[in-house]
């Protein structure tokens, strides 16, 4: 099968300036809208289950609209899902890697066929604008394509030294039953990426999606089933993280947890998973990708317009709700005022409104809770610095917030230190490049960062000293591409798993070494 696969290439994005693409997207939005309010059942090892309590997911651009109605899992059902995953492991792990990879490629192909439909679900349930939704869905396809190829590579012979008189081998086995806990902000890409990696490696999984985006997860489960992942290989368990999360993480048959989300929940999962439970015969593995407080350094010697553009899209794309979003611009004092002036003009021109209307650059934030929390941070920020742009909600029924810039922010300020996860940018003045690097590294996080500079020595120093998992030079700090920018951060940003890179699948595998005596026995 390896011979027949072309080298990996990233899924191209639809160009919505082309009338045919625009019309296809309008049609997909209408088709998805016609399914609003549909009820989706839990899926435990192929069995569809109804429960007493329901969860309604809303359209954040228009919260009076219910996108999907979902059954809420109970702790008992959570335990049942882990046990079902554990029970099916012997069967799924024996399926040859080539067949698992083919199944995953089929899943990617189905998403590709239904791309605009998925785009539309992301517009309505996650509040993504068309291009942001398209990037998310394309990344999900990339993960399927990339990890299928990675599994084939890892299933092949591994280079070990051959001792005289022995045949020496190393091969990879799956880990076991795993829990997949994604966030809502890349509700398809991260959900699909973590699930794809786990399944293609031969593990079975229980997927617990975010309560904000369960319909997208239900649609993804349809894809897994249609692609041919056996019913026993995965369960979809919608429910409150607080109610079912602990049961899933603590269960003695849980072998690993792949989590992407906030720092606090990641730390809690890590702690709980570390505790031995009666009957547990392994140390659970935790893959935890967490928050960010990402900085862009704007050097005195740089292309100022490019820097303004890079900061703008990194800070306000998807309303700043990316772990990779720029939330701190650290600007050399010599160009500080000119930079701020240009940035303010550009930010004030950004249109904010319903995500399904293609003229809007920014849609809503995810929920009323998020809106309140972000507005509170803005209030704090007003006291900690100088409000330059935004600072309030935008008109409309949705959870809209204007792109907000707060200047003259000190390194001790709350809005310099805490992840806000919304369209709020703190701008800080640096005395010189040394000071800028020092400020950029003054964070408990270390996910992404960027530097805009024309000075080769400063770029060299950023490569060495800017302590982030993903560094970008003279470009935005968002938009990591599978294969090109393996993704993951340092420090409190997580375990640096490097999703979409050659190290990732190993996190879902364990290596076994076999040394066999050959020829005459001594």
Nearest residue (CB) to ligand NAD, 227 versus 290: 290
Nearest residue (CB) to ligand NAD, 210 versus 235: 210
Query: What is the binding site for ligand NAD (CB under 6 A)?
Result: 181-186, 190, 208-211, 241-242, 245-246, 249, 260-262, 265, 268-269, 289-292, 323, 419, 421, 447, 487, 489, 493-494
Three-state secondary structure call for residue 391 = coil
Pairing of strands 445-446, 386-389: unpaired
Catalytic-labelled residue, pool 11, 145, 289, 419: 289
Closest distance between ligand NAD and the C-beta of residue 90, in Å? 27
Closest distance between ligand NAD and the C-beta of residue 55, in Å? 11
Tokens representing 252? 């003695």
Nearest residue (CB) to ligand NAD, 176 versus 245: 245
DSSP letter at 13? P
Nearest residue (CB) to ligand NAD, 172 versus 487: 487
Closest distance between ligand NAD and the C-beta of residue 196, in Å? 15
Q: Where do runs of H (alpha helix) occur along 228-303?
A: 241-250, 263-274
Nearest residue (CB) to ligand NAD, 21 versus 373: 373
Dist. CA 92–CA 370, nearest whole Å: 40
Nearest residue (CB) to ligand NAD, 238 versus 311: 238
Sign of CA dihedral 462, 468, 472, 475: negative
Question: Which contiguous run of DSSP H or E holds residue 464?
Answer: helix 456-465
- 323 in catalytic set: yes
Closest distance between ligand NAD and the C-beta of residue 270, in Å? 11
Catalytic-labelled residue, pool 132, 134, 144, 323: 323
Give the CA-trace dihedral at 505, 261, 142, 31, to 10 degrees: 140
HSE value, Cβ hemisphere, 13 Å, CA-based, for 331: 27
Dist. CA 139–CA 416, nearest whole Å: 30
Q: Which residues of 72-99 are buried (b: 16+ CB within 10 A; e: fewer)?
A: bbbeebbbbbbbbbbebbeebbeeebee
Closest distance between ligand NAD and the C-beta of residue 311, in Å? 18
Contact 419, 285 (CB under 8 A): no
Sheet with 424-430, strands from edge to edge, namely 386-389, 404-407, 424-430, 326-332, 294-298, 448-452, 470-473
Closest distance between ligand NAD and the C-beta of residue 513, in Å? 32
Question: Catalytic site residues?
Answer: 289, 323
């Amino acid at each position: 099968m390896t011979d027949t696969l072309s080298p990996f290439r990233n899924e191209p994005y639809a160009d919505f300036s082309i009338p045919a693409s625009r019309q296809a997207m309008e049609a997909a939005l209408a088709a998805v809208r016609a399914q609003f309010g549909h009820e989706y059942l839990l899926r435990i090892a192929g069995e569809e289950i109804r429960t007493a309590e329901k969860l309604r997911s809303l359209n954040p651009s228009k919260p009076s609209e219910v996108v999907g109605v979902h059954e809420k899992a109970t702790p008992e059902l959570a335990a049942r899902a882990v046990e079902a995953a554990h029970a099916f492991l012997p069967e799924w792990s024996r399926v040859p890697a080539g067949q698992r990879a083919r199944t995953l490629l089929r899943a990617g192909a189905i998403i590709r066929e239904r791309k605009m439909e998925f785009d539309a679900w992301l517009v309505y349930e996650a509040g993504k604008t068309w291009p942001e939704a398209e990037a998310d869905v394309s990344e999900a396809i990339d993960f399927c394509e990339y990890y299928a190829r990675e599994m084939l590579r890892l299933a092949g012979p591994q280079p070990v030294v051959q001792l005289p008189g022995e045949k020496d081998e190393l091969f990879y086995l799956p880990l076991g039953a795993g829990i997949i806990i994604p966030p809502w902000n890349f509700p398809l890409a991260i959900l699909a990426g973590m699930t794809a990696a786990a399944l293609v490696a031969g593990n079975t999984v229980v997927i617990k999606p975010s309560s904000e985006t369960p319909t997208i997860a239900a649609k993804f489960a349809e894809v897994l089933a249609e692609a041919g992942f056996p019913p026993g290989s995965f369960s979809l368990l919608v429910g409150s993280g607080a109610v079912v999360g602990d049961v899933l993480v603590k269960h003695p048959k849980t072998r690993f947890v792949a989590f992407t989300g906030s720092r606090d929940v990641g730390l809690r999962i890590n702690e709980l998973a570390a505790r031995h439970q009666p009957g547990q015969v392994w140390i659970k593995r935790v893959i935890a990708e967490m928050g960010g407080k990402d900085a862009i350094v704007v050097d005195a010697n740089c292309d100022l317009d490019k820097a303004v553009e890079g900061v703008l899209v990194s800070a306000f794309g998807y309303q700043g709700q990316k772990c990779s979003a720029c939330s701190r611009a650290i600007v050399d004092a010599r160009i500080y005022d000119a930079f701020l002036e240009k940035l303010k003009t550009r930010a004030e021109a950004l249109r904010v409104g319903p995500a399904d209307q293609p003229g809007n650059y920014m849609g809503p934030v995810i929920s009323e809770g998020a809106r309140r929390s972000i507005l509170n941070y803005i209030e704090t920020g007003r006291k900690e610095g100088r409000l330059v742009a935004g600072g309030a909600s935008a008109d409309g029924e949705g959870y809209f917030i204007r792109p907000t810039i707060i200047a003259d922010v000190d390194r001790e300020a709350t809005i310099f230190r805490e992840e806000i996860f919304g369209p709020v940018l703190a701008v800080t003045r640096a005395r010189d490049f040394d000071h800028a690097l020092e400020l950029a590294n003054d964070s408990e996080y270390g996910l992404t960062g960027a530097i805009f500079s024309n000075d080769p020595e400063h770029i060299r120093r950023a490569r060495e000293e800017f302590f982030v998992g993903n560094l970008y030079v003279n470009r935005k700090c968002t938009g990591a591409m599978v294969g090109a920018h393996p993704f993951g951060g340092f420090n409190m940003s997580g375990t640096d798993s490097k999703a979409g890179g050659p190290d990732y699948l190993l996190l879902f595998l364990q290596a076994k070494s076999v040394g066999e005596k050959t020829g005459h026995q001594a």
